[in-house]
């Protein structure tokens, strides 16, 4: 049985993906294929390359992502992720999908055409950056004659690349929306509005998953809470260990014979 893993976007909440992966490994649940958006694309690339969840946490939190973000001086966005591209090149030096140990698909949104695009071959790092480019905050990424922004705008939980290629699909969604919200500033309003919008397309994707892992405690964290990486990692880990067992990731009889 081939298991596919879809990893959502979510900014700093994406550190929970690593905790989930660690818990799955301890259950001896082997992932055969991955698809990721934004933070999920970053985690998916490192994991597909062969890094362990704890290693990825150390790499991403230790490199100081915020320090790698640079002013863009552009009307299309306040910041650029070019600095983070250099971090990725250091740890993913082969820079191709073909060099990965597991197949990976990355989602991005082509802003001029208004459609979702799936990358699964050729250059790896630029699609990762494109998938992580939050509109208005970061400048769009130009790649092969097209212009891309965050994949979560159109497909925040990318299960479609896994359908037909995997027997069992696990979705990890890190964007629960808290029922309580205090308006503090324009940034918080913008981030919450974005989370609400992308949750619409995530709901449809969840229907194609055999299992959905969505730790509700993540609602208390902002997508910008990079300094709380270990806390968020632990939430993903403990939620998975406490609510799932290895048998939850096996095909049931009714699934084999519908």
Catalytic residue among 61, 80, 132, 150: 150
User: Phi/psi at 148 (nearest 5 deg)?
Assistant: -120, 150
Distance CA 73, CA 82 (A): 13
Closest CA relative to residue 66, chosen from 88, 83, 86 = 83
Is 54 catalytic? The answer is no
Is 155 catalytic? The answer is no
Distance CA 21, CA 54 (A): 10
Contact (CB, 8 A) for 117 and 148: yes
Q: Which residues are catalytic?
A: 38, 150
């Amino acid at each position: 049985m081939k298991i596919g893993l879809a990893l959502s976007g979510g900014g700093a909440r994406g550190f929970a993906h690593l905790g989930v992966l660690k818990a799955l490994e301890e259950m001896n649940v082997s992932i055969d294929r991955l698809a990721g958006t934004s933070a999920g694309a970053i985690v998916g690339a490192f994991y597909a390359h062969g890094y362990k969840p704890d290693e990825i946490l150390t790499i991403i939190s230790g490199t100081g992502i915020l320090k790698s973000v640079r002013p863009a001086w552009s009307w299309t966005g306040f910041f650029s992720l070019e600095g983070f591209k250099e971090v990725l090149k250091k740890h993913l030096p082969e820079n191709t999908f073909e060099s990965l140990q597991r197949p990976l698909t990355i989602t991005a949104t082509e802003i001029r055409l208004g459609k979702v695009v799936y990358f699964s071959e050729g250059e790896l790092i630029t699609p990762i950056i494109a998938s992580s480019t939050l509109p208005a905050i970061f400048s769009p990424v130009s790649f092969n004659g097209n212009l891309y922004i965050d994949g979560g705008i159109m497909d925040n939980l990318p299960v479609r690349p896994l359908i037909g290629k995997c027997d069992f699909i696990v979705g990890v969604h890190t964007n629960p929306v808290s029922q309580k919200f205090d308006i503090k500033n324009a940034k918080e309003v913008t981030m919450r509005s974005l989370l609400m919008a992308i949750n619409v397309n995530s709901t449809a994707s969840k229907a194609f998953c055999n299992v959905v892992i969505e730790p509700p405690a993540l609602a208390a964290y902002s997508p910008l809470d990079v300094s709380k990486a270990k806390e968020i990692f632990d939430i993903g880990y403990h939620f998975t260990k406490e609510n799932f067992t290895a048998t939850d990731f096996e095909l049931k009889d009714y699934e084999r014979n519908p």
